[in-house]
Structure 1
């Protein structure tokens, strides 16, 4: 009888142990399923978070590009692609007629698209670059714009009349001077840093080893707005130079000349003099830092606004832009553009001087 009781107790223990193990196994399986489910949810949430961040980043980039193309004073001339994207909706137009049109043109933007038909809705054939000479044979009028059928570099296609100008060869004897100054890119580190970048080009040409970022750190700064008053570019760099996410404008000749003298004692401020002073420096083989605007021509009143500063009211434009003048002839002014990244870019002499005079005839060079 006693042995039967012992056997019964052992049997009950074995059954309970087995049940316990079974329960433990089931609990383990449930925990693993819960963990896997949790990981799936976490992964899905993480994926959605990444997608959200990417969407936000794309929106931010789009907003920055829009600012560059519209309100910003630093409007890049990198290509016509951004502008063309806005015009690509719908099918390519076939409603146009052509006429014979023989003329030599040259490209006036950094990169231009040659297309199969006379609109941006047509497929791109080839890219042509700044100052490339092209031969036109036909002209198409689309009502609000003209397109030319041209040939260049073994390619043929259509190009908008808005990004070319008639080629007028300059006689060699009329070419006065071209200074071989370095070209420095202000982007992407200094979206609003054309003034210090142009100063870096000037100083480096003069033999001074200093970079744009050092000059950006050392230039005098003033707040974009303080106590209800806007900053004054005559006093220092207004606002943020490093990003379009915060407000900013630029800086005028005074603080730039002061900064330049820290590195080169012979810096001379030519501001207020006629453009002959710039020509004289070029004749002496020295480039000239200037303030102009992104159109390099006289700006209409719509591009200007009045700022109330601690020194009183001043007129400013967000299209303000600084370049380094490197040469001239009887038709053009040549300059290194730190934004468009074009060396010895040329603009009509009359237009360039008009834009330069409108913003105060600001110029800096050295003796």
Structure 2
């Protein structure tokens, strides 16, 4: 009889776990002023994630977006606290200014609510450390979402470099990121208001696009901190961006490697690509399903497979992490990697202001 009861109990527990895993992630959205929020709003009806509430103090903005995506006005709440109290989300995604990321974690972490913020993690090391400490104390996941995390080319390049040893040890990484400028490409007024504010964003192009290079480089170096950071920033368009830089170059050095991140609001075309040079070859990546590789006399183009779920989408990945289906390592989204990213960016801003190399 006891064995039968034990068997039934195990079966019920298994069914309960399976049922919980099959349920969509109850997700709250905090802020609508980051234009990346359209990524989650346009997929609100998908089965892996359910938007249960949206916190946004600007009611006009909230209702405009809800109408645009044919979502119920009942999803809107004026504050994060009100949204959480009414909807009890398992996790939230923050789509407000970088400065406000810390407040989101301060509200959510004590309640056991997991958080994913848009890149970068924080405006300063002080903010980043406070956020990570809260996440650790309250045992929540704290992820940072970069568009480039979901490029198959980056994952395949990492495998080539670290598992296959195809190009030897990394010696130089060059990252190009940016576009013609946030105003030029039509970013919303609500986004521009804080993106071009040195306090709310932490800087201009140096932060907005320098963070991609810092994130990829730190990941490729398996979490190693650079020994120095130097940067040059410019205001090529002060009439459009009077408060922040619109052009930046960051150089990070390691004992036997160097990273160069070219971040710009002045590219003639949108770009997010990376060149990784090793001792014996190189690999060039972008968002396409193709790598440019050279390990001999000639460069070759290699077709690669697309990433599979849950590694191909930030919200599917977030749901899998929260539900325990994935145990995050030191990957592109992790706080371990992104704390160093913030440290690099903070040092870059300091270097650009002082004209001096910053030692870490």
* Shorter-chain TM-score above 0.5: no
Q: Would you tell me which structure has more strand in proportion to its own residues?
A: 1
Q: Which has the larger radius of gyration?
A: 1
Q: Would you tell me which structure has more helix in proportion to its own residues?
A: 2
Larger RCO (alpha carbons 8 Å, 6+ apart): 2
- TM (normalized to structure 2)? 0.23
- TM (normalized to structure 1)? 0.23
